[in-house]
Structure 1
Amino acid sequence: MLKKIILKNFKCFKEETEFPLGQLTLLTGINGRGKSTMLQSLLLMRQSIEHNDNAAQLVLNGSCVHLGSFHEIRNSNISREESIIFRYLYEDNIEVSNSNNFKIVGSAQYHFTENYEDDMVAQIIKIEFDNEVIGFDGNKHNSMPYKHNSVYQKNNEFNQDVHQNRFDFISGTQEEKRNSSCSLFKLLPVSGMISFENARGENIKIDSKLYKSLYFDRIHYISADRVGPQEFYFKSTLTKFPNVGSKGEFTANLLQKNKDYLVDDELCLGEDAKTLATQTEEWLNNIFDGAKVEIKSSESNILELLMNSSPSKDRFRPANIGFGYHCVLPIIVSALIAQQGEILIVENPEAHLHPKAQSRLAKFLAKVSSCGVQVFVESHSDHILNALRIAVLDKILNHEDLKILYFQQKTELPVVEIPVQPDGGIEEWPESFFDQMDKDFERLFGI
């Protein structure tokens, strides 16, 4: 799981800025203070892999975000020679065999610079890894930490071709040094196994599982700009990583083709089938107190999405159903198909929703995070915030697994973590952190 993201020289974050992360992280605060920027440090990695999983570049305009040219993402107060830095800190448990389990605690730091031949990409020039591999039995460590640190530098001989991605070893294990250079695959070095002895003197080898938190191609993303009701959807082939699309545009296709996919037992409602189709309808019904979903497929290349806001047998065209149903549908489908260890990013889940529906949707996302999916929610809704606090109170989510990041208008401290107590309480309320209702009541009633 990702434990922290650190950004430097990226858009509004000139100085090194840290973002602590939990199993569920809520990003909230003042508009234009970097919430989307933090999420873009993940989305850029995903869309770059989708564009070319063998390249060593950051694609700035792709399936998730369109950020323009390199000078638009580089902080305006730095020189052209300075690098943009993304650093990801992670912690994972890895099972090599029944008797050999390991905890990985480490970080990966990416350095990006301008590509003078293509200003629509950022070139990776260096990657630094700093890892500790700790063996354990249950909760007890059974070996001294094995440190695995390595640095990969872009091979300048290939700089004239943006698609070449040979990297030289600056430091690393003896095996890596013997290989002298490597390439990248999905933005990770293709190198050999690392080996070390455990407490019993056994030789253990670990491969790329070391970096499983950095599988950036496994990110589900639903943007704030979601598609509304459509008369029909064109049938399309699902991508290698099935997802609903950043605007939810592939939701009908995914739901129709994967309707029999079995959902995690912990997320299943009711006594009916545990399939994606059934559970999607169950959760819609739970959030809205009534919902039916049906997808009709013709012999042509058209899919029709029919819905109802009540349990009756009637089905209606999307335009005749509340807009909120269409905004929530891609979130539910994404959450139900997300696997343990994957990431789910949802922007403005509260869009077009009644407060009760917002609260129930937030509770659903908390349950999803408790099943091992790392969830990021960007929201301005106090109903979303309070529902997550109640999820802590109800033991759906451990208070240590919920991180609330408040983005404020202070250059010296742009991001503040708001601690949540085991009972869901919040003791520290910064200025402008969900206090507008109190200010309005004071103005109206003098209280």
Structure 2
Amino acid sequence: MLERISITNFKAFARQDIGLAPFTLLTGLNSSGKSTVLQSLALLRQSHEAGLLDEADDSGGLLLNGDLVKLGTGQDVRHEAYTEDDPDITLAVVKGNIPYAWRARYGREDDLLSLLAGPGGPASWATRDLPSLFGQGFQYLKADRIVPDVSYPRSHDAAVRRSFLGARGEHTVNFLRAHQDDRVTAMSLRLPEGSSTSLLEATDYWMQRLCPGVNVAADDIRGTDTVRLSYGFGSGVSASNRYRPTNVGFGLTYALPIVVACVSAQPGSLILLENPEAHLHPQGQTWLAYLAVAAVSAGAQVVMETHSDHVLNGLRIAVKDGRIPAASTAVHFFRRNGQTAEVVSPAMGPDGMLGDWPKGFFDEWENSLEQLLD
């Protein structure tokens, strides 16, 4: 499990250390640095997949534009308040109290920032010592995810060989088609009444927490390189016809990659989620927190960016109910302070209560109520 990420001169941060737990929740106002944390991890993964993290010369570096993130050039990503004494960009993670750091030379127009030798880079050994970040169980789902459509791509490389859903979740339907009969062994993710649960059955169970009665199907479109997603409602004699995603609510398809990523989690998986609550009813948002807790109980590590107090409260309830220890959670509140961002980290107690409630931290409901009652 990753225990910490350190960011220097990258996007919102001049220098920032952020603790990571099995379930880490990133909250705060827009453009306050939450996405920078997820993008930092995705950037390391992207550069590793391109074979660029092992060499401290012109052949290696941080690849700013790829399948996971598209960040522009050096001038787009270097923090504006850098100092002349420390002009370069450094990303580091800690596992088992061992830091792994990559320091890259700033180039204004470069989209491949060359790694520097010496302290802070490159950590070439980390590719084998950080399997959650660089191995098979990695999932990164951006806020810009798939929408209802008549078909989705069929990629054997992504969905079968790499078990990757795609940064937009574009391979989710094909992944579900290929793996629907795989057995879900983690008790926390299986149907409560079932002694054995397939991936498709578990997906239906958690999707029904978001929309009661729904079930999904993923099928080949013969003679093409695409697959089809459909939804049904009810079962047995009460079962509905099958519906295209374009004829049901937008939120179901948007949330499907989140559900599949968590349901398919394995011990050692790393799941990065941006705004999973979007387009969902408040009850569904709370259940997404429960689902992420279930994935953590199955051995995964989840880092989630959210604007939802329902997600936060779902995590707090899960702690109070004993589904996850308070020590296995971290909550970070991001806010701007001049040119840089700062992070406040309220501690979670075993009763789900938070030790600090800084201004701007999910307090808008109380602010609005105060105005209504004034």
Distance 2:211 2:371 in 1: 34
CA displacement 1:329-355 (0-9 Å, x = unmatched): 111111122221121011111111011
Which portions of structure 1, spanning 4 or more consecutive aligned residues, are displaced by more than 4 angstroms? 208-214
Which residue matches 2:271?
A: 344
Distance 2:250 2:357 in 1: 33
Which residue matches 1:21?
A: 20
Distance 1:248 1:87 in 2: 27
1:69-218 map, 5 Å: 69-78=73-82, 79=84, 82-91=87-96, 105-114=97-106, 119-126=110-117, 128=119, 188-189=124-125, 210-212=129-131, 215=134, 218=137
One-letter amino acid of the structure 2 residue matched with residue 354 of structure 1: H
One-letter amino acid of the structure 1 residue matched with residue 218 of structure 2: I
Which residue matches 2:214?
A: 291
Higher helix share: 2
TM-score (norm 2): 0.89
Distance 2:64 2:121 in 1: 22
* Structure label with greater radius of gyration: 1
Distance 1:81 1:408 in 2: 24
Distance 1:309 1:408 in 2: 43
Q: What percent of counterpart residues are identical? A: 33
Q: State yes or no: 1:221 paired with 2:132.
A: no
Q: Is the 8 A contact 1:26 1:403 kept in 2?
A: yes
Greater RCO (Cα-Cα under 8 Å, separation 6 or more): 2
Distance 1:211 1:348, change over 3 A: closer
Which residue matches 1:424?
A: 352
* Structure 1, unaligned runs of 5 or more: 92-104, 129-150, 154-186, 191-207
Q: State yes or no: 1:50 paired with 2:54.
A: no
Which residue matches 1:167?
A: none
Which residue matches 1:166?
A: none
TM-score (norm 1): 0.75
Q: State yes or no: 1:377 paired with 2:304.
A: yes
* Structure 2, unaligned runs of 5 or more: none
Distance 2:356 2:85 in 1: 40
Distance 1:152 1:224, change over 3 A: closer
Distance 1:242 1:127, change over 3 A: farther
CA displacement 1:209-246 (0-9 Å, x = unmatched): 65445536642011111111011123222334211111
Which residue matches 2:12?
A: 12
RMSD: 2.3
Which residue matches 1:359?
A: 286
Which residue matches 1:235?
A: 154
Q: State yes or no: 1:438 paired with 2:366.
A: yes
Which residue matches 1:254?
A: 175
One-letter amino acid of the structure 2 residue matched with residue 122 of structure 1: L
Distance 1:444 1:81, change over 3 A: closer
Distance 1:282 1:272, change over 3 A: farther
- What is the total number of aligned residue pairs between the two structures? 359
2:190 aligned to 268, 276, 284, which one? 268
Moved more, 409-418 or 371-380: 409-418
